[in-house]
Amino acid sequence: MPNSVPPSNTADSPAPEVGAGRILVVEDELSIRDNIVYALESEGFRVDCAATGSEALEMAGKNDYQLVVLDVGLPDINGFDVCQSLRKTSHVPVIFLTARSSEVDRVVGLEIGADDYVTKPFSPRELSARVRANVRRSLLNTATTDSPPQTDDANGLPFQIDYERWEIRYYEQALALSRYEFRLLALLIEKPGRVYSRAQLMNAAWEEPDASMERTVDTHIKSLRAKLKERRVDLDPIVTHRGIGYSLREDW
Ligand code: CA
């Protein structure tokens, strides 16, 4: 039975289909896992389960998931390392299940490229809501490939990210970006105004982050700026925060 969601009141932004995709739930505690599976299946998601980090990575390598719910405390590889491995090949949204505030600190610090987190104990309803929100957001990001180019994406920014094509459009034209430039710019665009340190950018964009190479981030930001400037000489979308790092301009 289709969801009886009322039609969106903004005719120009049809809501993408949420609930049709497959979700990977990685949790070693059976009772928690069952609760999550039940909650997500009631929302119309198809759910696969893994009880260990290595199982999760194997399944994620074989299947195309819409989102991964990932427990931090797993018996073999911890959730942070699982996420870092995932990020080398995929931009699948990841929601962490965390048990301790020290884990929350790491997730919030975005060292590992998580999209969201839920603290245990949580209600299945709360988790479902987060899953829906994150799936919707990632669908909006990829849906731009199928629609004609628009000046503004969902955030009102002149950027559109297409993760499947590794492409970012700026004022409707694709930028010619290296892999690292793509990752850096995509990260900045996801949260305008959020300031990232060089170390955070390095961790998010490089397979083998190395603190001694943080100047490399500066080099890539410099080349990114030059490419953005080629398109719009009057704008500088990337803000430098002296002694800290970089952010994307918020006031568009
Ligand atoms: Ca656990």
Q: What domains, with CATH codes, occur in the chain?
A: 22-143 (3.40.50.2300), 151-248 (1.10.10.10)
Type of residue at 168: I
> What is the C-alpha separation between 103 and 80, in angstroms, rounded?
9
Least confident of 170-174, 215-219, 224-228: 215-219
Place of tokens 């490419």: 227
CA of 201 to the centre of ligand 1 (A): 28
Helix (H) or strand (E) holding 112: none
105 CA distance to ligand 1 middle (Å): 18
Spacing, Cα 1 to ligand 1 middle (Å): 34
Q: Once rounded to an integer, what is the mean pLDDT over residues 168-194?
A: 88
Alpha carbon 56 to its chain's center: 18
Going from the Cα of 40 to the center of ligand 1, the distance in angstroms, rounded, reads 19
The rounded Å distance from CA 34 to ligand 1 centre is 13
User: Residues 84-142: pLDDT tens digits?
Assistant: 899 888 888 899 998 877 677 666 554 566 777 888 888 888 898 888 888 877 776 66
Cα(52) to centroid of ligand 1, in Å? 9
Which of the pair, 83 or 6, is modelled with greater confidence? 83
pLDDT at residue 105, as a whole number: 66
74 C-alpha to ligand 1 centroid (Å): 5
71 alpha carbon – ligand 1 mean position (Å): 6
126 CA distance to ligand 1 middle (Å): 18
Residue 73 Cα to ligand 1 midpoint, Å, equals 4
* DSSP letter string, 85-108: HHHTT----EEEEE-SHHHHHHHH
Query: Average pLDDT of the chain?
Result: 81
Amino acid, single-letter form, for residue 107: V
Output the CA 149–ligand 1 centroid distance in Å.
43
Q: How far is the CA of 43 from the centre of ligand 1 (A)?
A: 24
pTM of this prediction? Answer: 0.53
Distance 169 CA to ligand 1 centre (A): 40
Q: In the chain, count of helices (H) and strands (E)?
A: 8, 11
**Residue 196 pLDDT > 50:** yes
Q: Which of 162, 156, 177 is nearest to 231 (CA)?
A: 177
Residues 91-106 have pLDDT tens digits of 888 999 988 776 776 6
Question: Which amino acid type is present at position 75?
Answer: P
Flag whether pLDDT at 8 surpasses 70: no
